[in-house]
Structures are given as C-alpha cells and as structure tokens.
Amino acid sequence: MCGLLGILTALGDAPRYVDPVAHALPCMRHRGPDEDGTWNDDDVVFGFNRLSIIDLEHSHQPLQWDPEGEEGKKGKAARYSLTFNGEIYNYVELREELQAAGYSFNTSGDSETIVVGYHHWGEDVVNHLRGMFAFAVWDATERTMFLARDQFGIKPMFYATTEAGTVFGSEKKSILDMAEAIGLDKSLDDRAIVHYTDLQYVPEPETLHAGIRRLESGCHATLRPGDEVKAVRYFRPDFTPVPVPSGTEDALFRKIADALQDSVAKHMRADVTVGSFLSGGIDSTAIAALAKQHNPDLITFTTGFEREGYSEVDVAAESAEAIGVEHVVKVVSPEEFAAAVPKIIWYLDDPVADPALVPLYFVAAAARERVKVVLSGEGADELFGGYTIYKEPLSLAPFDKVPSPIKKVLNKLGQALPEGQRGKSLLLRGTTPMEERYYGNARSFNYEQLERVLKIARPEWDHREVTAPIYAESEKFDPVSRMQHLDLFTWMRGDILVKADKITMANSLELRVPFLDKVVFDVARTIPYDLKISHDTTKYALRRAMELIVPPHVINRKKLGFPVPIRHWLAGPELYDWARSIIEESRTEDIFNKAEVLAMLDEHRVSMNSGHGPDHSRRLWTVIAFMIWHGIFVENRIHPDIDEQDYPVQL
C-alpha cells in the first residue's frame, strides 16, 4: 500500500520534471511514510511513497526489471520500470507459475510479479492478478506506458493530460501540486459539482477539477509520449444467477464459505501485523472470525458514539468475546467529530458526503497504534444483496400487473400528495421505472430541491446522466442484479471504497477487503434472487454460509455499520452553530443559494426539536462538506492541521 506519482512527458524532457515530482510527493507521505524515492529516464519520471508490508528489506520502488536478468542489464538500463499501489494476494502462486516459464526474480515481494507478468502476458496481466491495485509500467524498449486499476476500484488512479504530457497519481492533490509545472488549468467542473450535490459523491471518471480525471475501476490504458489516456474496460461484473434446485442449497452455501475462507487466507499474507475492523454486523464479524483462524492473536477495532442508537460498541464487544479476540474501542465525541472534518476532507481530495468517514478516521487511527494492516467487510452488500432497498422489486411486484395508463394516473396522484403523507412514496416508486427511481444507495436532493439550492443546476445533469449507461449494460439482468450492478459502479466505488482507501491511508494504515475478491465474486454472481432476499432478510445465502463461523447473535442482525447522529447534532448545540458559521463564511455564492441553505438548516432544527417536519441532515451535510472542500482547495482559506507522524517500518 503506497502512493505513486508519475509523468509521461510529451517531448522527452523528463529531467525537468524530477524536482516538481519530488516536491509533490510529501503531500501524500501518509500513504507511505516508510521510504520515498524517484526515478527517471528521458521520457518518464516516477515518484513513490512506500508503506512496507511485504518483503520489507527489498521490493523498493520505483522497481526496475529486465527480462535478460542481472547480466543482461550491465551497461544498459532495465527495460521495465514499475510504480505500484496495492497488494497482489496471489503473488506466491503467480511467482511459481512465472518461474516455471523460465523467468527469474530479484525480490520476494508481490510488486515484481506484476512487471514480470506484464512482460509475459502483456495487457492481459490484469486478468491474472488477484488483489487491489493501481500501477504504471514503463516499457523503455517500446516506449509505452501501461496504466491499470483493479476490478472493483479499491485503489485510486488520477490523471491529467496537458501539453507537457500525462501526469498520474494516487492522490489528486499531488497532481494539483504540479499544476504550474505542467500547465494544468485548475478550473472547477460545474457538471461534476451538480452530480456530487445530487449523489453525495463525485461519480467516476469525473473529479471536481475539469482537467483531472480518474482511470475507472476495471480499466487499463496504454499510451505513448504525447498520447491522451484512452481507457479500455477489461472487467465487467456480470451477474448470472444459476437456479438452485430445492434441497441442494447447502452446496452453494459451502461454495460461498470456501471462497471466503480462501480469500481471507490470502488477504492475511503480510510481513507485518494484520488486525480487523469489527462492527455489529455479519460482514466484518465473518471476516474477523475467519482471520482469527490464521492469527490467534488477532486484534479487532470498533468505534461508536455516546448517543443511544448510534453505536454498535456493545454488540461488537460481544462478537469479539465470542470469537476470542482482543478488542479495542474508540468512542468519538461531537467536539472531536467537528474538529476532524476539515482534515478528513483534505485527505479525501474530493468531498464525499458520508458522515461515517469521521468515525472511520478515528478507528483507523486507533488501529494504527497496534497494527499496520486491517481487514474489513466492504463489498459484501453489493455482492451478496445486503441493502434493504434490494427488497423493493418484491414489494413493488403488484404494480407490474397494473396497465401503463393507470400507472400514469397513480403517479400523478402520488405527486399531488403532501410530503410525509402515508402511501406517497409507495405510489411514486411503484409507478416509476427502475431506471428512473433507483440511482444507487445515496441521493441527497430531488431536482426541485437541487434547483433551489444549487445555482448551477441543469435538468440534463441529473442522476440519469450517470446511471443510464450503467443500466444499459444490465438490461438482461433480474431487477435485484440490476440494482447490485448499478451500486458496483456508483455507490460502492464513489463512496464506500473512496472512504475505505483515503481514510485508512490518512493514518498510514492498509485496509484489505476480502469480499471484493475475484474468486468470491465468481460465486456471488451466481446466487439466485430467492437466496439473496429470502426469509424476510437480506444476504440470506451469505448468512447461511457463515452459520458455523459467525456468532448466533449476529447472524441475522440488521445492518447498522458506523452510524452518525448528525440529524440530531445539526439541530442541537453540538453542530448547529458550527454548521451555520461554515455556510455563512463560505465563498460559494456563485454555486449555492446560501440563503436557501441557511433556511434549510433552520427548518431542520425546528423539525428535529418539534418532532414534526423534514429531516434535511443528509442534504445539509452534502453542502457543508463541499463548502469545507472549497475553502481548502479553492479559496485557500481553511488550513487543516495535517500531522506528520512517524511509524516504525515493522509493526
């Protein structure tokens, strides 16, 4: 787990960019505080911050490799150079396969398997890798740069192309630091701002800066000096449920359990201590219980708040006792919460309006005092059908029999009903096609609300601009699989995985996600609908598969995660004044109607204190997070206190 930064120059003048790359590296030192370095030839500069996890004494990056071996390199530079962020969990098996094919290795780490595999398989190397990755391989002989990102988008890759060449890196702020050197226009992208405000995250491949984009999950690109990045998709998550005859379900449950057992075993590979996050749900509990089989001294970590109903600390502690692990708890106060937000948004690069980022930051900091790697349960909901809204196709099934003309009448009736009227939501959802009503697991505003608050809103920039192409790829899927498919490309990679990477890396902590594994997905994609949503629960097949692994008090427990009481805090003494000052001081009058935002804050306070009226907390948090981001990266008015902590290489 590391931070990479590089430039493929357009004019073969790479030496002039060595200093700008070296100058930009420290802003992402948190991604790799153990060592740093640069390398260049006439075309390329690579920079790197390393968090040493495997092969601690070797596998230094940027890494050089030549197919002729050490003897062949005498008198000439190596053919290949690599910068790599992530982990390859099947590197032992790949190494053995490549050695059998006649290749030699200079290290015992996972990085070298990428570059040797690239020489052997070419672009198809990505289909042999089982892990999380974003990497760049420079072939000095062919003068080509190969950029690639893992199947699900666990690791980030930003890039910008100017007349100077193409800059790419793990963090957008490092590219912004090079803006003057490469002639990058730092103008904001209005469409991306609208999408963010609508969805609570910036959808790939956009960023809030018009000149910087992201290589999408499951994509790679090959370019020569002077080329622009043209991404090629190599991985499409195809859900193909396979019917399971009655009485044979146990065979599927065993396949799920075996796949997870194997994934966790490989995710435990490290030369440093591995711990695990633990909330009160089945996902993290299953991972921790499986990890305990490989590390009897496993330490687990959880977080919560002192407000009733917003903490899983007690359940997590009960789970830790049941599986026999040491357990660490971090309770976050409202004061700590508010103080940490600007720092967290700086680490994010672009805002993500998910308050769960804050408790995650604190539990990651607590974990980094004891371990260097943690496992977590991200991805289980998207792969196994865990969100409650996935029950919607079943609950709305009666509307499928209603003729279209009657549906239109019912839809108009639903629109006419007042907000909060019982039955309004059901009528609207049941009479609206899935492609229009389901936009993933988060949406802050409907268009009318968006238009009142956001001055730059346009009708053509609504959520369907993001979701329509994704829906077009899933026309043959069943309704639940279509929802899962959409979430893999929107909510999961826009929110879940961004916060997982950015917030743990903010604490120089490597987070691994065993559910998001190729072998696990190959089983999950075959689960039929009636074994995803069944017996009035979600993730039914996963729950059955984990019955002998997960403690009984967790196996059927509803999902909670790390909830945050912002709906109460924004209306009370904890955060109301804090939020109001952020809105008033923000210089975003050209983007937001601040009077409307302030009115929304006051209406929210009245609603929460009276017990009647709308809950605006998600909408408010979306705007507040953007305003803090704008104060940091555009106005240069907010200056978060970023700690420079030094950690030992081995922990």
Q: Is 508 exposed, middle or buried (0-12, 13-18, 19+ CB in 10 A)?
A: buried
- For the chain, helix (H) and strand (E) counts, in that order, are 30, 17
Alpha carbons 225 and 144: distance in angstroms, whole number: 8
110 known ligand binder: yes
The verdict on whether residue 376 carries a ligand-binding annotation is yes
The encoded tokens of residue 4 equal 């990479």
Q: Is 122 in contact with 105 (CB distance < 8 Å)?
A: no
- As given in the structure block, the two tokens for residue 260 are 């997870």
- The 8-class DSSP code of residue 48 comes to E
Interatomic CA distance for residues 115 and 273, integer angstroms: 27
Alpha carbon distance 96, 94 (integer Å): 5
Q: Which long-range contacts (CB under 8 A, 24 or more apart) does 590-594 make?
A: 590/455, 590/456, 591/193, 591/454, 591/455, 591/456, 591/630, 592/453, 592/454, 592/455, 592/623, 592/627, 593/452, 593/453, 593/454, 593/455
Choosing from 1, 2, 486, 632, which is the catalytic residue?
2
Residue 27 bears catalytic tag:
no
Q: For residue 343, what are its two tokens? A: 């720092």
Q: In 324-356, which ranges are continuous DSSP H helix?
A: 334-348
- Report the 3 state secondary structure along 156-211: CCEEEEECCEEEEECCHHHHHHCHHHHCCCCCECHHHHHHHHHHCCCCCCCCCECC
Q: How far apart are CA 39 and CA 167, in angstroms?
A: 15
Give Cα separations from 107 to 113, 356, 406 (angstroms).
9, 39, 68
Q: Within 10 A of 624 (CB to CB), how many other CB atoms are there?
A: 25
Which letter, b or e, does each residue of 43-82 get, where b requires 16 or more Cβ atoms within 10 Å of its Cβ?
bbbbbbbbbbbbbeeebbbbbbbbbeeeeeeeeeebbbbb
425 annotated ligand binder: no
Q: Which residues are part of a known binding site for ATP?
A: 376-377
Q: Which residues are part of a known binding site for L-glutamine?
A: 110
The catalytic residues are 2
